[in-house]
């Protein structure tokens, strides 16, 4: 337990002491070093927890808090494990990414204070077991990430995105407070352990508390329809911050949902249905909008929404398993959920780092103006490709393993002898398959528009790859992807520990065997490709280089290749009613047309048809009060006089 | 998990040899209907060997992706074949939920096919890959829903559950079998780019799907890609034949019938190609949606049967 607190203190103090360092480069180095040291401490405590079980520490804090209990069980340890590693990699990456900004004399003081504090607060969130303290560290996390998003605060869009994020986070806190208030009323305490005892006999209360908590934490995690902050906050933030937020911070929302779930003994199956349906909507919505994006970071943000949906699907399947008392469904669902949390944090951070590397070279996020970068940025290209294959959940990488577990859980769920479980799991089964193929569409589009083909306008002058402070964290992440993909047995055993909080993991053996077989086959696949490559090297007799077949046309240029939008178009056309199309067309006129242009964007319908009307009506409501506070001093004085008169009258009447 | 040695040998032989004969037979059938004598049935094999020996022309726009893609496509299709039920309804590797691994391995090959096509920077190949990606999104969910429903019906979640439908559930099984044959056959036509979805013989790039994606491949690479698409056809045909062939038949008879039916399927594909014209590109979606509708009908029939709604 001491190690856990030492690690957090190192992080907090590294943030504060970075104020004393003047040189910006040194500042970032110092922070990365401290993050690394704290990771060592945290990993040590994680190791101890996995070996000896839960550890606990209680602080006495006088009248308000009474007791603040910190307890690290398997679930906390699992989250600590990847929070520390992923944020440390983010801190290392920051050194490379921010050097462009430092050269432009950009001040990074606030950034370097809040970067370690964000990590520290996330670590505290997963450890604390007291509702009030939880809300405090939760707020610390939201605020520190808000300051990180506001890095380029001189840009208007960044400020807008930051404010939007802040508002969303506070709406989320309202629901979390409601859930906690309800549980603490029932238990007359603020401690999670007491909540659990209170919820044991009260099913209705448990359901209401779970739904409130699911909404609150779901806003943080990015479930549709509470997702709208993600696609605006991620592009605005610097890449390592987007990577950390998308890879790690939104997972604290999942942690919150899991924590509330762990307080409920046996959830009702209705909760499972609700979670599964929301998750299906979330993942379909996320991937659909990801396909339609041209901004690489927006695309990744929407794909995070999709992955949160997949995680939620695993969770929902797990809940169904618990409520139908089917331990194998629950085991597979929860392990799929946990493993996807880990996996998504790895490949999404890798992809955001890749996007950052591209941005730092080309200064654009628009994939339509890039292309052919695989020739000038070969290392970034390979790493991005690994991330893209992994996020499409294709074998032999890690995403496949977690999605396979979720599929397996759903298939077992379909075979539960119950009509509603059959229908809901079958629906989810088809939906996940659809999402998988759509992800392939989305990431082949992103990868090939950026890296393949001929260089378009912004990619033309790029001659060299990014330096090692970009490549090092990215290659480490790629190694994790390979490792989990090829040694799923180890990782399944690792994940089964936190899963054991929810369900007995007795029959894990048979699933381990299946994963073992799959991993052997996948390793065989890689070896087979290697052998074929050798054969190709010896057999194929020389090759001539010639330009691409152009149907007889021999002056091709980069504008003739397929663009990302046209690649996605046949699919999107089918689903046009789900978008709001904003286009600006000026058609060519007369025989010798001089000027013509065509611009088209697909806007988020949730924002257009739900968020904007709601905001407008709220604004109208509050406009009513403008009459009272209208800035007219004479009126304010008359308010004072009226108040005094009323006081006088009341005093006379009473007195 | 891993089956006995006979099944392994038979299945691997089927995967490696059958594609040539199926393609040859389709061409022969088409020649017959066209009133020609046609090429020898062994010609696809000769073509394969010839291509292996040839040199290559590689586009100057391409990168290493273009060079490794054919290897990845071929290997992942072969490895997907390990999970597919072939002789006696048995796969080389039998797992619960194996069809997920099977589909995702095919997905892996498709991923590389798409990025390899886009690597050339050609607008034709972009067009083809965009269509390929789009049709897959319609095929895959239907395939998954069908197999999940079958798992419930037979109480077996391995891939060889498909050979149990006909024998275990009587008249109802027959109905499901017929619908499944139709669905998987549509899948075969789309995945292996046959008429009426795509025409492998065409020379008009604007209307092509799969063939247009490999316009720039030549020599060794082209050989592997065409072989891989033949193997894919053989695997899907094996699945169809397993649906209709009762697994209770004894040893040699089953094997002979199995091969005969697979070849018959090739002839049927050839007949369809000779009798039908290709559907207009914008109407291909409607054709593919037939499979999705069949999947939903199968799912609801299974729900009615199992839960008596």
Q: Report the chain B residue with the minimal C-alpha distance to residue A425.
A: B148
Which of B12, B58, B61, B283 to mutate to test binding with chain A, by most A CBs within 10 Å of its CB? B61
Residues in B closer than 8 angstroms to A436, CB to CB, are 104, 107, 140
Confidence at residue A445, expressed as pLDDT on a 0 to 100 scale? 95
Which residue of B53, B84, B106, B107 is the best one to mutate when testing the A interface, meaning the one whose CB has the most A CBs within 10 A? B107
- CB distance A543 to B55 below 8 Å: yes
In B19-103, DSSP assigns E strands to: 56-59
List CB contacts (< 8 A) between A512 and chain B: none
Cβ A289 vs Cβ A604: under 8 Å = yes
Asked if the model's pLDDT at residue B2 lies above 70, the reply is: no
- Any B CB within 8 A of A543 CB: yes
* pLDDT at position B183 over 70: yes
DSSP A18: G
What's the confidence (pLDDT) of residue A625? 86
User: How many H helices and E strands in chain A?
Assistant: 26, 5
Q: Give the separation between CA A136 and CA A215, rounded to whole angstroms.
A: 19
Q: What is the CA radius of gyration of chain A?
A: 27
Question: Cα–Cα distance between B101 and B190 in angstroms, integer?
Answer: 20
Mutate to test the interface with A, among B68, B115, B138, B158 (most CBs of A within 10 A): B115
As a whole number of angstroms, the distance between CA B84 and CA B101 comes to 10
Q: Indicate the angle between helix axes A398-414 and A296-323, nearest 10 degrees.
A: 40
* Nearest chain B Cα distance for residue A510, angstroms: 10
- Closest partner residue to A411 among B115, B148, B285, by Cβ? B148
CA–CA dist A93, A88 (Å, integer): 9
Instruction: Please state, in angstroms and as integers, the Cα–Cα distance from residue A202 to each residue in A191, A195, A265, A266, B29, following that order.
Output: 17, 11, 10, 11, 71
* Interface-testing mutation among B1, B103, B133, with chain A (most A C-beta atoms within 10 A): B133
- What pLDDT is stored for residue A117 in this prediction? 95
Residue A654 CB coordination number (10 Å): 6
Q: Tell me, what's the pLDDT at A134?
A: 94
- Secondary structure of residue A58 in the 3-state scheme: strand
Contact between residue B110 and residue A534 where contact means Cβ atoms under 8 Å apart: no
Residues of A in contact with B183 (CB under 8 A): none
pLDDT digits (tens, 9 = 90+) for A533-592: 999 888 876 788 888 888 788 888 888 888 999 999 989 988 888 888 888 888 888 888
What number of CA atoms fall less than 13 Å from residue A306's CA on the CB side? 31
CB B190 within 8 A of CB B140: no
| Angstrom distance (rounded) from CA B283 to CA B102 | 28
Tokens matching residue B108: 């892996």
How far does B206 lie from chain A, in Å, by closest CA? 10
Partner-chain residue, chosen from B101, B130, B306, that has the shortest CB–CB distance to A518: B101
Q: Which of A287, A335, A333, A331 is nearest to A309 (CA)?
A: A287
Give Dmax (Cα) for chain B: 63
The number of residues making up chain A comes to 655
Nearest Cβ partner of A532 from B74, B107, B152? B74
Rounded to a whole number of angstroms, the distance from the CA of A500 to the nearest CA of chain B is 23
Chain B contacts in chain A segment 610-639 (CB below 8 A): none
Q: Is A437 on the interface with B (CB under 8 A)?
A: yes
Q: Which residues contact A158 (CB under 8 A, 6 or more apart)?
A: A149, A150, A151, A152, A236
Write down the number of H helices and E strands in chain B.
Answer: 10, 1
- Report the distance separating Cα B302 and Cα A549, nearest Å: 50
* Reduced 3-state DSSP string for A509-560: HHHHHHHHHHHHHHHHHHHHHHHHHHHHHHHCCCEEEECCCCCCCCCCCHHH
Pairing of β A543-546 and β B56-59? parallel
Instruction: Specify the DSSP element, H or E, that contains A596.
Output: none
Q: Cα-flanking dihedrals φ and ψ of residue B209, to 5°?
A: -115, -80
- A375 contacts in B (CB within 8 Å)? 63
The answer to whether A230 touches A222, Cβ cutoff 8 Å, is yes
Helix axes A269-292, A296-323, angle to 10 degrees: 160
- Convert B244-280 to b/e letters by CB count within 10 Å (16 or more is b): bbebeeeeeebbeebbebbbebbeebbebbeeeebbe
Q: Which contiguous run of DSSP H or E holds residue B154?
A: helix B123-154
A563 CA: distance to closest CA in chain B (Å): 8
Closest Cα in chain A, distance from residue B148 (Å): 7
Please judge whether B56 and A540 are an interchain contact, meaning their C-beta atoms are less than 8 angstroms apart: yes
Number of Cβ within a 10 Å radius of residue A461: 10
pLDDT digits (tens, 9 = 90+) for B171-182: 888 999 999 999
β-pairing, A580-586 with A597-603?
antiparallel
Distances (CA, A) of A576 to A292, A302, A586, B122, B292: 11, 18, 21, 27, 20
Cβ of A422 and B78 within 8 Å? no
Structure tokens at A519: 């991993």
Residue B203 pLDDT level (bands cut at 50, 70, 90): low
* Rounded distance between C-alpha atoms, residue A404 and residue B95, angstroms: 12
Residue B147, judged by CB atoms within 10 A of its CB (0-12, 13-18, 19+), counts as buried
Q: What is the DSSP code (8-state) at residue A487?
A: -
Contact A430 B55 (CB under 8 A): no
| Confidence band, pLDDT 50/70/90 cuts, at residue B148 | very high
**Using CB atoms and an 8 Å cut-off, which of residues 462-521 of chain A contact chain B?**
513-514, 517-518, 521
- pLDDT tens column, B251-284: 788 889 999 999 999 999 999 999 988 888 888 8
DSSP per-residue codes, B93-140: B--BTHHHHHHHHHHHHHHHHHHHHHHTT-HHHHHHHHHHHHHHHHHH
Q: What ranges do the domains of chain A cover?
A: 267-534, 577-654
**Which residue, chain included where needed, has tokens 């790859």?**
A465
Q: List the single residue in B with minimal CA-CA distance to A446.
A: B115
Distance CA A42, CA A47 (A): 9
Residue A549 to residue B124, Cβ atoms within 8 A: yes
Among candidate residues B196, B198, B221, the one with its CA nearest the CA of residue B208: B198
pLDDT score, position B170: 80
**Tell me, what's the pLDDT at A137?**
95
* Average pLDDT in chain B: 90
Nearest by CB to residue A548, choosing from B97, B121, B139, is B121
Parallel, antiparallel, or unpaired: how do β-strands A66-72 and A580-586 relate? unpaired
For residue B57, report the phi and psi dihedrals to the nearest 5 degrees: -115, 125
Point out the residues of chain A with pLDDT beneath 50: none
Instruction: Map residue A70 onto helix, strand or coil.
Output: strand
- Full 3-state SS string of A204-231: HHHHHHHHHHHHHHHHHHCCCCCCCHHH
Q: What pTM did the predictor assign?
A: 0.94
Nearest CA in chain A to B105: A395
Residue A544: strand pairing partners: B57
- Among B55, B115, B295, the residue with its CB nearest the CB of A448 is B115
Long-range contacts of A199-208 (CB under 8 A, 24+ apart): A199/A263, A199/A264, A199/A265, A200/A265, A203/A268, A206/A263, A206/A264, A206/A265, A206/A267, A207/A267, A207/A268, A207/A270, A207/A271, A208/A182
CA distances from A217 to A170, A175, A312, B167 (A): 11, 8, 12, 50
Give pLDDT, residue B1.
59
Band the pLDDT of B309: cuts 50, 70, 90: low
* Two structure tokens written together for B110: 């498709």
Chain A closest-CA separation from residue B8 CA (Å) = 15
Name chain A contacts of B299, Cβ cutoff 8 Å. Answer: 426
Residues B59, A556: C-beta atoms closer than 8 Å: no
Extended strands (E) in A38-176: 55-61, 66-72
**Spatial CB neighbours of A63, under 8 Å, sequence gap ≥ 6:** none
Report chain A residues whose CB lies below 8 A from the CB of B303. 419, 422-423
Is A477:A346 a contact under the CB 8 Å cutoff? Answer: yes
Q: Is A429 on the interface with B (CB under 8 A)?
A: yes
């Amino acid at each position: 337990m001491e190690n856990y607190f030492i690690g957090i203190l190192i992080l907090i103090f590294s943030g504060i002491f970075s104020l004393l360092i003047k040189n910006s480069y040194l500042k970032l180095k110092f922070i990365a070093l401290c993050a690394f040291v704290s990771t060592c401490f945290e990993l040590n405590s994680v190791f101890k927890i996995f070996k000896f079980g839960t550890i606990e520490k209680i602080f006495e804090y006088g009248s308000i808090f009474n007791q603040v209990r910190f307890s690290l069980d398997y679930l906390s340890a699992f989250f600590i494990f990847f929070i520390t590693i992923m944020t440390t990699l983010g801190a290392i990456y920051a050194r490379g990414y921010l050097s462009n900004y430092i050269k432009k004399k950009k001040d990074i003081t606030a950034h370097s204070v809040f970067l370690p504090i964000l990590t520290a607060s996330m670590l505290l969130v997963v450890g604390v077991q007291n509702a009030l303290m939880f809300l405090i560290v939760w707020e610390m996390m939201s605020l520190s990430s808000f300051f990180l998003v506001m890095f380029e605060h001189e840009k208007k869009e960044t400020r807008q995105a930051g404010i939007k994020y802040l508002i969303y986070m506070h709406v989320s806190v309202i629901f979390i407070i409601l859930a906690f208030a309800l549980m603490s009323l029932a238990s007359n305490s603020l401690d999670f352990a007491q909540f659990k005892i209170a919820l044991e006999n009260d099913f209705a209360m448990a359901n209401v508390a779970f739904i409130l908590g699911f909404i609150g934490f779901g806003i943080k995690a990015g479930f549709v329809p509470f997702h709208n902050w993600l696609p605006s906050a991620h592009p605005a933030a610097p890449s390592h911050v987007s990577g950390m937020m998308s890879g790690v911070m939104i997972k604290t929302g999942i942690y919150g949902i899991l924590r509330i779930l762990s307080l409920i003994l046996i959830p009702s199956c209705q909760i499972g249905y609700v979670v599964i349906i929301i998750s299906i909507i979330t993942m379909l919505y996320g991937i659909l909008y990801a396909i339609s994006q041209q901004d690489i970071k927006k695309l990744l943000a929407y794909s995070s929404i999709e992955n949160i949906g997949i995680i939620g699907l695993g969770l929902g399947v797990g809940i169904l398993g618990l409520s139908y008392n089917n331990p194998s469904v629950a085991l597979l669902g929860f392990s799929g959920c946990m493993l996807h949390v880990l996996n998504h944090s790895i490949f999404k951070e890798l992809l955001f780092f890749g996007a950052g590397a591209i941005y730092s070279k080309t200064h654009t996020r628009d994939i339509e103006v890039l292309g052919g970068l695989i020739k000038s940025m070969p290392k970034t290209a390979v790493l991005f490709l690994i991330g893209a294959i992994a996020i499409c959940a294709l074998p032999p990488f890690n995403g496949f393993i977690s999605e396979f577990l979720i599929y397996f859980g759903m298939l077992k769920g379909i075979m539960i002898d119950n009509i509603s479980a059959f229908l809901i799991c079958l629906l989810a089964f088809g939906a996940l398959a659809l999402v998988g193929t759509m992800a392939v569409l989305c990431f082949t589009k992103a990868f090939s528009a950026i890296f393949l083909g001929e260089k378009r306008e912004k990619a033309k002058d790029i001659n060299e790859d990014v330096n090692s402070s970009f490549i090092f964290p990215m290659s480490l992440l790629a190694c994790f992807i390979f490792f989990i993909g090829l040694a799923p047995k180890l990782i399944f055993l690792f994940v089964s520990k936190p899963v054991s909080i929810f369900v007995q993991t007795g029959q894990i053996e048979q699933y381990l065997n299946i994963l073992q077989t799959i991993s052997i086959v996948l390793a065989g696949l890689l070896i087979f490709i290697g052998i074929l490559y050798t054969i190709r090297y010896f057999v194929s007799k020389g090759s001539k280089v010639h330009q691409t077949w152009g149907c007889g046309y021999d002056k091709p240029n980069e504008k003739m290749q397929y663009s990302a939008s046209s690649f996605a178009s046949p699919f999107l056309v089918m689903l046009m009613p789900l978008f709001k199309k904003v286009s600006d067309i000026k058609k060519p006129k007369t025989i010798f047309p001089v000027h013509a242009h065509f611009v088209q964007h697909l806007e988020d319908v949730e924002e257009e048809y739900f968020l904007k009307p709601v905001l407008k009506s709220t604004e109208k409501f509050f406009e009513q009060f403008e009459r009272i506070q209208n800035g007219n001093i004479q009126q304010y004085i008359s308010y004072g006089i009226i108040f005094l008169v009323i006081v006088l009258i009341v005093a006379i009447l009473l007195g | 998990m891993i089956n006995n040695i006979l099944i392994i040998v038979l299945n691997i032989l089927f995967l490696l040899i059958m594609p040539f004969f199926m393609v040859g037979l389709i061409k022969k059938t088409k020649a017959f209907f066209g009133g020609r004598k046609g090429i020898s049935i062994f010609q696809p094999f000769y073509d394969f060997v010839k291509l292996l020996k040839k040199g290559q022309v590689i586009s100057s726009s391409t990168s290493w992706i273009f060079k490794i893609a054919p290897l990845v496509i071929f290997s992942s299709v072969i490895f997907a074949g390990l999970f597919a039920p072939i002789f006696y309804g048995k796969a080389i590797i039998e797992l619960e939920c194996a069809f997920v691994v099977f589909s995702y391995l095919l997905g892996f090959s498709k991923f590389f096919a798409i990025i390899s096509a886009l690597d050339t920077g050609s607008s034709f190949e972009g067009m083809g890959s965009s269509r390929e990606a789009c049709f897959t999104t319609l095929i895959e969910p239907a395939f998954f829903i069908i197999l999940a429903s079958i798992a419930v019906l037979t109480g077996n979640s391995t891939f060889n559950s498909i050979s149990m439908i006909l024998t275990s559930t009587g008249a109802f099984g027959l109905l499901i079998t017929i619908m499944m044959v139709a669905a998987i056959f549509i899948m075969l036509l789309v995945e292996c780019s046959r008429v009426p979805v795509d025409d492998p013989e065409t020379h008009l790039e604007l209307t092509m799907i799969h063939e247009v994606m490999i316009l720039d491949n030549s020599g060794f690479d082209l050989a592997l890609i065409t072989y891989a698409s033949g193997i894919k056809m053989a695997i899907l045909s094996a699945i169809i034949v397993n649906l209709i062939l009762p697994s209770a038949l004894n040893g040699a008879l089953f094997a002979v019938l199995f091969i005969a039916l697979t070849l018959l399927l090739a002839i049927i594909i050839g007949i369809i190609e000779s009798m039908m014209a290709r559907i207009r590109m914008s109407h291909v979606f409607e054709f593919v949606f037939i499979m999705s509708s069949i999947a939903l009908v199968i799912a609801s029939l299974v729900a009615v049967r199992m839960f008596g709604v």
